Structure 1
Amino acid sequence: MLRVENLTVKFPSRFGDVTAVEDMVMSIDVGEIHGLVGESGAGKSTVGAAIIGLLQKPGYVADGDMMLGDTDLRRLDRFEAHALRGKRISMIFQDPQTSLNPLMRIEDQLIETILAHEDISVADARTRAVDLLDEMGIENAAARMQSYPHQFSGGMRQRVVIALALCTNPELIIADEPTTALDVAVQSQVLDLIRRLADVRKVGFMLITHDIGVIAQIADTVTVMRHGKMIENGPTAQVLGQPKEDYTKQLMAAVPPLDRKIARFKVPDEDGIITPSEARGNAAEAWLMRGIKEDPIGLTLDQVNVAFPGVRTSLWKKPDPYVALRDISFDVKPGTVVGIVGESGSGKSTLAKTLTGLIKPVSGTMTMGGAPLPGGRERARNHPSRQLIQMVFQDPFSSLNSRHRIGAILAEPLWLYGLETDKDARRKLCIDMLSLVGMPPEAIDKYPHQFSGGQRQRIAVARALLARPKVLICDEPTSALDVSIQAQLLNLLKGLQAAFGLTVVFISHNLSVVRQMADDVVVLRNGKIREVGASETVYTTPTADYTKRLLALTPVMPAAWRA
């Protein structure tokens, strides 16, 4: 159905053309799910964008053939390409926030897409839209159709984007990290749907993902990429079960296990990437160590409730509030890591924003180191917690100012909290911190859009660390990272947490990662705590049925492949 031969993609610059993809070869049969894996920046998303004709300017296809059946994709004019997109080829983008129009209700966006490609009535389009949202696992789909994108959690927004891609029953769907923001329960539903579409409707899928467990579970064939080149491809069982190339073997070794806890992650060799063991990284680490003057501090939540105004459907009836968190009570011991897990929409991100003072609880108390922790606007700008509690957000692209260079973004906490007054010293420290998280020094003069999703997340971690925090709240910090960079970042967080006595609240839907990171685990569902306890106890002998279900749904590689 799809044949790609010797695809080469270049991006012109004032220093010459940069080759993003070189001599890429792949094919996808009717009803086949083809996995595309590799490091962030390896060129996976560029391949998908080239096939669907959405390469970001001034990028261009320099060489190669791309055939969709008998259609030569390189010979289409812009009108033919526009008609083909959405009808014969659909794409699920990596970032659901930028894929949806923030000014339009979900209903309008779904209906608009269906009517653009199908000759049906508005009423029939609305019915199909509701059915799609319901199939994606969105509760009360008919009512939620009236919501705007910002009123959904990250995982629920991703479900809406997947529904948009399925509106017109396309021949090929290019799924760029379609399950990144999804918890394991919804991820299982989506993967089952993808498998069913491939088997029953004979839809072909190009599944771009860094989650090798997902590839092992669903992909028929797989291609491994690195630095824009194909390293290895073939049937999934052959490539992942009996890899021939060293890089593929290293990727497999970096996948965190679910059945046991390990001390350190195995990190693949990083050609040309600065690691924390080098001099610059050590300089930033020494600066962080000098900032530690107190013992680790902990957090306590007691009967915390958070509610949001409901959606008004009538002029005469006041809407009921939406309760996002209900009676949340747990302790975060000083210098430990607490993992927060649960479905998307269960309140994990709301809990993080409540701790940082971005949301005010309607009732309950919070304390930090025994001192009261105000919520929302009651927390003054000069309150110590503004510096001592830092957050790494789920979406690094939205949390980094797109108009500022990386140097200005990283320097902001230094001058805001008076940690470094000299401009030249701030720049040197920012370069050192970039190196500590595995980024090259020249990144300091670039803009956020010039980096991949995984690279932007590393920059976000660097910015949080430059505030010299005592509490670090990580909201899905590895969701945009491939397994190799994930292993590097988690080793970094583990080392920093142990060396500096950081108290960490680690939010993730990846249960394998949480087991490696957390000392204690809190399981949330629908805004309520379902289970809380020591990490190893929760993973080995869970008491709540919901916890058991989450563990059973987590995709893992076959034991024989690990050996």
Structure 2
Amino acid sequence: MTLLSVEDLTVRFPSRFGELTAVEGVSLSIGPGEIHGLVGESGAGKSTIGAAVIGLLPHPGYVAEGRLRLGETDLRALSPRAAHRLRGDRISMIFQDPQTSLDPLMTVEEQLIETMQAHSDISRRAARERAVDLLEEIGIRDAESRISSYPHQFSGGMRQRVVIALALCTDPELIIADEPTTALDVAVQSQVLALIRRLADERGIGFLLITHDIGVIAQVADRVTVLRGGKVMESGATRQVLGQPAHDYTRDLMDSVPPIDRRLERFRVPGEGGGGARHAQDDRPAAQARRWLTAEGETEPVGLSLDEVTVRFAGARRGLWTREAPFVALDGVSLSVRPGSVLGLVGESGSGKSTLAKVITGLVSPASGQMSLGGEALPAAKARPRGHAARRLIQMIFQDPFSSLNARHDVGRILGEPLWLYGLEPDAKRRRALSAAMLDLVGLPADAIDKYPHQFSGGQRQRIAIARALLARPRFLICDEPTSALDVSIQAQVLNLLKDLQSLFGLTVLFISHDLAVVRQLADEVAVMQSGKLVEAGPTDQIFERPRADYTRDLLRLTPVMPAEWRAA
């Protein structure tokens, strides 16, 4: 029996430059209780297919050709009113970011009840009882009291569970899950994937699982379709497609997946060409950038040391005169990063990783503890004025380059800003020349300097963010989840670039990530955090092969990876 049938689907988007074919001739099917994975690079058409199935293609996109059937229902023949009714009744969707999927001004109870009453004739009391049962089913403890909470009062994983409850509350036959675990740490991701698998097995719900994470597909999907440029490269049983790929593109994708059981010197990236950092010794722009970055003797690696650093945040108000007890975000953390090395920092959401980064950069002041950079005391945020050397020597690369780059400025102005801010280059023409040279160093074309952030892909924007950080001539670089939002092939390019730059300029790096396989590839040493405390730290091979803490072993066990026998095949 076929639940969803997609036959020769073609989707086009008209524009003033002609029609863009986003999806061309795609066919796939999903049976009851089946999880069908849809993988491919950004722009492959994965989300467009999901939007076409549920009838939410952004204007002016339209289905040009093909058949879409849910059971016996022709989805293309439905009137707008009937299509609206079908959404929620028979097809639901789980989006990537639960924070934007939930109304921050409504309690979880109100949102669940409103959804149920919009799609069925049910009393408010009965809807509430069903909502509590749903929250308990998806693993939210004390659902009777938590149901009256607002979305911001839940963790990221709990919010994603609420979104799943919203998708389930109308008993749909099919759920489209668009990157449902991308922003989640490995423990919460494992819980959400187990929930999806259980719903498919016990309720017979079909899932179209859209993701760029090959490990997630290997863990839960029954079948997989590989897309590139809107076309199907190959499709079939997950073990067959991933274990014995028939198409060169699928093999290239598999080569880009970082293994967790060993360290690679370099990722294989098809057609990378100049994708890594340029090592030229001549007068090309990349060589000019290299000479400028290593000028004035700033090539000696520096180390970082933290001693008993504690951070407390004020508790929420419980009335006019009282507050809850302060929240301890970091509890006496002591660690060191050796000069010229990479320290990987891992742990669940809320473990204190990003708070630690903010303390180092001076964005958060610790309640107690000492810090030093290169053997000299590193003052807390309030004692670190704008002209303090640490503000330049410590730079940060953020998770989302689109939100960290000013959308109103072109790349030339974005890259020139640190040169002006830190007084490194007063001449505007020289700042532009150095910015162009840095673009060449990170593998971007010269004409990128006059473009704006929205004109680049995610991987290209991250290269721009890296170039901006380097133009400050830092000695300590913090990378906070710099590849978590990128597909595997683009991730491989960015990781190769970071490896090149770290070795080229002797940078000391703190690499924060929830992806343990990525940490294995970059880090010389690893520190594991849980609930604001340092659980263990040591050489990378020791942490991954002989972890001492039960918590570390749990993180490794929960990480979705390609089975070793599939790689060998």
Q: Structure 1 length as normaliser, TM-score?
A: 0.89
Q: Structure 1 237/355 Cα, relative in aligned 2: closer, same or farther at 3 Å?
A: same
Q: Any residues of structure 2 matched to 1:397-546 within 5 Å, and which?
A: 397-423=402-428, 425-427=430-432, 429-434=434-439, 436-439=441-444, 444=449, 446-449=451-454, 451=456, 453-546=458-551
* CA shift digits 1:96-139 (9 cap, x unpaired): 44434455555555554444435445565556556656666667
Contact 1:37/1:222, CA 8 A, preserved across alignment:
yes
1:368 is aligned to 2:373: yes
Contact 1:240/1:248, CA 8 A, preserved across alignment:
yes
In the TM superposition, residue 436 of structure 1 has moved relative to its aligned partner by: 4.5
Contact 1:106/1:147, CA 8 A, preserved across alignment:
yes
* CA shift digits 1:359-387 (9 cap, x unpaired): 22222222222333333444322222222
**Equivalent residue, structure 1, for 2:201:** 199
Alignment root-mean-square deviation, CA:
3.1
Q: Structure 1 79/508 Cα, relative in aligned 2: closer, same or farther at 3 Å?
A: same
Q: Any residues of structure 2 matched to 1:109-148 within 5 Å, and which?
A: 109-122=111-124
Q: Distance in 1 between matches of 2:157 and 2:467?
A: 25
Structure 1 residue identity aligned to 2:560: P
Residues paired across the two proteins, number: 562
Q: Structure 2 length as normaliser, TM-score?
A: 0.88
**Larger deviation, residues 543-552 vs 94-103:** 94-103
Contact 2:174/2:206, CA 8 A, preserved across alignment:
yes
Structure 1 residue identity aligned to 2:232: M
Q: Structure 1 378/106 Cα, relative in aligned 2: closer, same or farther at 3 Å?
A: farther
**Equivalent residue, structure 1, for 2:394:** 389
Structure 2 residue identity aligned to 1:460: A
Q: Structure 1 319/413 Cα, relative in aligned 2: closer, same or farther at 3 Å?
A: same
* CA shift digits 1:171-224 (9 cap, x unpaired): 222222211122222211111111111111111111122221111111111111
Which structure 1 segments of 5+ residues have no match? none
Q: Distance in 2 between matches of 1:157 and 1:477?
A: 23
Q: Any residues of structure 2 matched to 1:123-202 within 5 Å, and which?
A: 157-202=159-204
Q: Distance in 1 between matches of 2:327 and 2:432?
A: 45
**Equivalent residue, structure 2, for 1:9:** 11
Match 1:48 to one of 47, 50, 57: 50
Q: Distance in 2 between matches of 1:389 and 1:477?
A: 16
In the TM superposition, residue 412 of structure 1 has moved relative to its aligned partner by: 2.9
Q: Distance in 2 between matches of 1:492 and 1:421?
A: 29
Q: Structure 1 549/427 Cα, relative in aligned 2: closer, same or farther at 3 Å?
A: same
In the TM superposition, residue 150 of structure 1 has moved relative to its aligned partner by: 5.8
Contact 1:136/1:189, CA 8 A, preserved across alignment:
no
Structure 1 residue identity aligned to 2:231: K
**Equivalent residue, structure 2, for 1:38:** 40
Match 1:306 to one of 298, 306, 311: 311
Contact 1:291/1:468, CA 8 A, preserved across alignment:
no
**Equivalent residue, structure 1, for 2:21:** 19
Q: Structure 1 247/417 Cα, relative in aligned 2: closer, same or farther at 3 Å?
A: same
What SS does structure 1 have at the residue aligned with 2:88? coil
Q: Distance in 2 between matches of 1:265 and 1:495?
A: 12
Contact 2:277/2:501, CA 8 A, preserved across alignment:
no
Q: Structure 1 155/258 Cα, relative in aligned 2: closer, same or farther at 3 Å?
A: same
Q: Distance in 2 between matches of 1:413 and 1:133?
A: 48
Structure 2 residue identity aligned to 1:185: A
* CA shift digits 1:205-260 (9 cap, x unpaired): 11122221111111111111122222111111111111111111111122111112
What SS does structure 1 have at the residue aligned with 2:369? strand
Q: Distance in 2 between matches of 1:510 and 1:106?
A: 30
* CA shift digits 1:514-562 (9 cap, x unpaired): 1111111111111111111121111111111111111122222222221
**Larger deviation, residues 143-152 vs 410-419:** 143-152
**Larger deviation, residues 553-562 vs 420-429:** 420-429
1:80 is aligned to 2:91: no
Match 2:346 to one of 341, 358, 361: 341
Q: Distance in 1 between matches of 2:89 and 2:296?
A: 56
Q: Any residues of structure 2 matched to 1:201-220 within 5 Å, and which?
A: 201-220=203-222
What SS does structure 1 have at the residue aligned with 2:84? helix
Q: Distance in 1 between matches of 2:149 and 2:447?
A: 42
* CA shift digits 1:123-178 (9 cap, x unpaired): 65556556656666667767766766566665555455444434433222222221
- What is the identity percentage for the equivalent residue pairs of Structure 1 and Structure 2? 67
State the structure with more CA Rg: 2
1:562 is aligned to 2:567: yes
**Larger deviation, residues 82-91 vs 229-238:** 82-91
In the TM superposition, residue 309 of structure 1 has moved relative to its aligned partner by: 2.7
Q: Distance in 1 between matches of 2:330 and 2:42?
A: 34
In the TM superposition, residue 68 of structure 1 has moved relative to its aligned partner by: 2.4
Which structure 2 segments of 5+ residues have no match? none
